Amino acid sequence: MNNQNVKPAEGKLGIMVVGLGAVTSTFMTGVLMARKGLTKPVGSMTQYDKIRVGKGADKKYLPYSEIVPLTKLDDIVFGAWDVYPADAYRSAMYCEVLKEKDINPVKDELEKIVPMKAAFDKNFAKRLDGDNVKDCKTRWEMVEALREDIRRFKAENNCARIVVAWAASTEIYVPVYEPVHGTLAAFEQAMKDNDTEHIAPSMCYAYAALAEGAPFIMGAPNTTVDIPAMWELAEKTRMPIAGKDFKTGQTLVKSGFAPIIGTRCLGLNGWFSTNILGNRDGLVLDEPENFRTKEVSKLSTLESILVPEAQPDLYTDYYHKVRINYYPPRNDDKEGWDNIDIFGWMGYPMQIKINFLCRDSILAAPLLLDLCLLSDLAARAGRYGIQRFLSFYLKSPMYDYRTDEVPVNHLFQQYTMLKNAIREMGGYEADEEID
């Protein structure tokens, strides 16, 4: 029962990633190894999950690729931009997420993935010093240079379609500034006027991608596509956008565990979350202005799941704190601690402790794959603008904050949204309710 409105996944899909660090090199290595049958893409829902379609006697549980036309792993071509010139093999070795034996079988392919010069402004990530950087006089020149990169990559690699994803460091916090970010016309003028305060380099990537007919995914908590000007551009180019910030470790736990407290009608006094990590992400987040961007995204999760207005007896005054500490010995092995102070019958206090020793890039790589494949699917299905069905994968889901819309952060409601969208695109009924 295929939906004729979704174009088939014909030809090659170019996945162009901003940042060729731990997440991206782990992602690329895993896909190349899986293609050779040397590893399994564990953690990827597009490769493993099954969704029920139909009801009663017609009920079937099918993998995504049997419901909708997904791009096959064999049809992916990788490209990247980075401030450091190391190719994907050197980056994978340097990041030390994967063992050498899990990288070497695809060494030749990884060595061919050489990053293009990045559109970079040190003011937005003071801790990074790479010199593989474009020489652009204005933000508009950055956009033009990036558009040229996308066109050239697409032609040289014979790609039918492109998806662009940001997996680079978190930029300093850029608050939404209505005179620049409010309309596309004002935004374009600000780029031409080289407004380096309100236009982050990541915004240039997003603009370039959308202008070249490529969906854009924001994998960091940057404000990039979370502005009305970018929504307007996505409508104009009829391209999907998704963001922001990959939901990998602690926030995944929070969005799955908070519903336990809420569903069981237990009260919450406080939720303290702290992390240690030592990769380049941790180094950049050690800068307070960059951490501020992350903090805003990580804090938003709880407030829309345990809502004070809905249950004043239970959730009125809880204290929510998030901390990230740079700790080099751990490298990519992140550790997240959650201390949750709850109360039960007659107000008696209890505690929950969660200690998640996770591997950041191992969790992020399959998310990046799913987001790229599903954004490409959405584009072929004619879906454009904010892709709310991808909220499952993101820490701080995008929404239209100019209206009364409340973003969905509850993991299982997000999963329902994901399943319904795939059912719809597959020509089935979107038959699960979100209560």
What are φ and ψ of residue 59, in 5° steps?
-70, 130
The β-bridge relationship of strands 333-343 and 349-359 is antiparallel
Summary mean pLDDT of the chain: 95
pLDDT at 41 over 80: yes
pLDDT at 1 over 50: no
Alpha-carbon radius of gyration of the chain: 21
Instruction: Spell out the domains of the chain, with CATH numbers in brackets.
Output: 12-246+362-425 (3.40.50.720), 250-359 (3.30.360.10)
Secondary structure letter of residue 388 according to DSSP: G
Q: Are 222 and 292 in contact (CB under 8 A)?
A: no
> How large is the average pLDDT for residues 121-142?
95
Identify the pLDDT of residue 310. 93
> How large is the average pLDDT for residues 52-65?
96
Each residue's pLDDT tens digit, 178-192 = 999 999 999 999 999
Q: What is the largest distance, in Å, between two alpha-carbon atoms of the chain?
A: 68
DSSP symbols for 316-364: SS-EEEEEEEE-GGGTTEEEEEEEEEEE-GGG-EEEEEEEEEEEHHHHH
> How large is the average pLDDT for residues 30-38?
98
**CA–CA separation, 392 and 369 (whole Å):** 14
- Note the helical H segments in 212-287: 228-237, 250-263, 280-285
Identify the pLDDT of residue 291. 83
Confidence of residue 4 (pLDDT cuts 50, 70, 90): low
Coil/strand/helix, residue 58: helix
**CA–CA separation, 282 and 206 (whole Å):** 24
pLDDT at 299 over 80: no
Each residue's pLDDT tens digit, 81-113 = 999 999 999 999 999 999 999 999 999 999 999
> How large is the average pLDDT for residues 23-49?
98
Secondary structure letter of residue 209 according to DSSP: H
Each residue's pLDDT tens digit, 214-267 = 999 999 999 999 999 999 999 999 999 999 999 998 889 999 999 999 999 999
Each residue's pLDDT tens digit, 339-369 = 999 999 999 999 999 999 999 999 999 999 9
Identify the pLDDT of residue 3. 52
pTM for this predicted structure: 0.95
